[in-house]
């Protein structure tokens, strides 16, 4: 009995520590969003003196929003940049979209690279290699095909690239689109994801997604160039790690990395979340405890601790804690996107939180992932091998 009492006391202490940590994360994220995001920054260097940028754009396939997303990059207000459009397959319909934009904007410095270069198992790196090797500027901006930008997005990112900064990244978010799945993604990228993403970066943990990253090319070259990261599926994590290991700082843009894919569904959202969870577990095994940071599981643990110490009713505490979490997420979401209609927020929020355990268990069940047109078996440490059909 003494051992059981000791274990229960320890678990109660753990519950209270979890409460403090999670609400500190909420607080840091909300404050950062309110103070930093969507703010007009003062130019840190004259417009004409901004460094040249080589934009690397990996493309595969066409969705209804692709041409509109790509066109926003041709309309950037920036003094010196080039667009390097990279397409792997010669029969990819994205080639026609690229040629149409190249013809429409003849005065924009843009080139199309077709065929890629096989240097490893990562299809994105293979696709980008010819563009990377042909890049002529000191800064490279790797930006996914589903991202759309404002005319001043690159200026904002370049202004964050100060003397000691080696990488500038954008907080992932989602553009307004129609349907339940679209709003579900918007709620996730406006609540759960930035809470972890921002609090990690504020506390010095290098947390970066590769949707939109501006990097110093010479640092990547010191690490071996893009080819050095071709053995990993999560190339963005290891590129960021290589830059941090060389003593460079990171900075977050004031504008979000706005995802605007024209193809989306609940199944696609779950598949992406499962793939990301698998990658995190294989790169950082400690992330197996990740579910305790989610609302429903955390509320149960903290509620039990409150019941054990204060004899409070578990279910009453659970409901109150979930309500407080919901309000906190709503405040944060309004900070990420100022113009947001909250009419369906509670339904989507509840659906998102309910999916977390299923997503995590699915990630543990199968160590293989499907990405683009390939299947890969993950190894501990982040490397992977392609599964070839015999």
Q: Indicate which residues carry an active-site annotation.
A: 236
Q: What angle do CA 253, 256, 259 make, to 5 degrees?
A: 140
Residues 6+ apart with CB under 8 A from 118: 126
Alpha helices in the chain (DSSP H): 2-36, 66-74, 94-104, 123-134, 153-160, 180-190, 192-202, 217-222, 235-245, 266-283, 295-310, 314-336, 345-365
**270 three-class SS:** helix
For the beta carbon of residue 289, count every other beta carbon within 10 angstroms.
8
**Residue 179 and residue 264: Cα distance in Å, rounded?**
9
**Residue 265 and residue 269: Cα distance in Å, rounded?**
6
Burial 352-362 (b: 16+ CB within 10 A, else e): bbebbeebbeb
CA quadruple 332, 197, 282, 145: dihedral positive or negative?
positive
Q: How far is CA 183 from CA 37, 118, 199, 343, in A?
A: 20, 37, 23, 11
Residues facing 371 on adjacent strands: 374
Structure tokens at 171: 């907080």
**Residue 35 and residue 193: Cα distance in Å, rounded?**
18
Residue 197 near residue 207 (C-beta atoms within 8 A): yes
């Amino acid at each position: 009995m003494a051992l059981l009492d000791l274990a229960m006391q320890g678990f109660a202490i753990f519950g209270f520590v979890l409460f403090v940590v999670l609400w500190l994360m909420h607080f840091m994220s909300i404050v950062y969003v309110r103070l930093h995001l969507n703010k007009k920054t003062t130019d840190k260097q004259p417009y004409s003196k901004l460094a040249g940028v080589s934009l690397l754009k990996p493309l595969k396939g066409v969705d209804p929003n692709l041409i509109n997303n790509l066109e926003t990059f041709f309309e950037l207000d920036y003094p010196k940049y080039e667009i390097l459009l990279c397409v792997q397959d010669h029969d990819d319909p994205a080639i026609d979209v690229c040629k149409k934009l190249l013809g429409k904007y003849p005065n924009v410095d843009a080139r199309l690279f077709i065929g890629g270069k096989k240097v490893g198992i990562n299809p994105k790196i293979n696709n980008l290699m010819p563009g990377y090797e042909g890049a002529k500027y000191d800064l490279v901006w790797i930006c996914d095909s589903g991202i759309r930008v404002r005319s001043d997005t690159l200026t904002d990112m370049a202004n964050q690239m100060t003397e000691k900064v080696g990488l500038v990244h954008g907080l992932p978010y989602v553009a307004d689109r129609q349907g339940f799945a679209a709003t579900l993604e918007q709620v996730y990228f406006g609540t759960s994801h930035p809470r972890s993403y921002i609090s990690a970066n504020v506390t010095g943990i290098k947390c970066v997604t590769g949707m939109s990253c501006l990097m110093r090319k010479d640092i990547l070259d010191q690490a071996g160039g893009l080819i050095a990261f071709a053995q990993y599926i999560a190339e963005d994590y290891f590129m960021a790690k290589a830059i941090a290991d060389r003593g460079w700082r990171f900075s977050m843009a004031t504008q979000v990395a706005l995802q605007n894919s024209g193809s989306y569904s609940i199944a696609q959202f779950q598949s992406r979340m499962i793939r990301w969870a698998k990658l995190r577990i294989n790169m950082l095994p400690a992330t197996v405890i990740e579910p305790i940071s989610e609302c429903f599981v955390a509320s149960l643990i903290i509620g039990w601790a409150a019941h054990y110490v204060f004899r409070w009713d578990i279910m009453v505490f659970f409901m109150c804690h979930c309500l407080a979490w919901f309000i906190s997420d709503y405040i944060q979401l309004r900070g990420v996107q100022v113009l947001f209609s909250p009419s369906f927020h509670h339904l989507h929020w509840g659906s998102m939180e309910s999916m977390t355990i299923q997503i995590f268990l699915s990630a543990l069940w199968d160590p293989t992932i499907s990405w683009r047109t390939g299947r890969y078996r993950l190894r501990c440490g982040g490397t992977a091998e392609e599964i070839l059909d015999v």
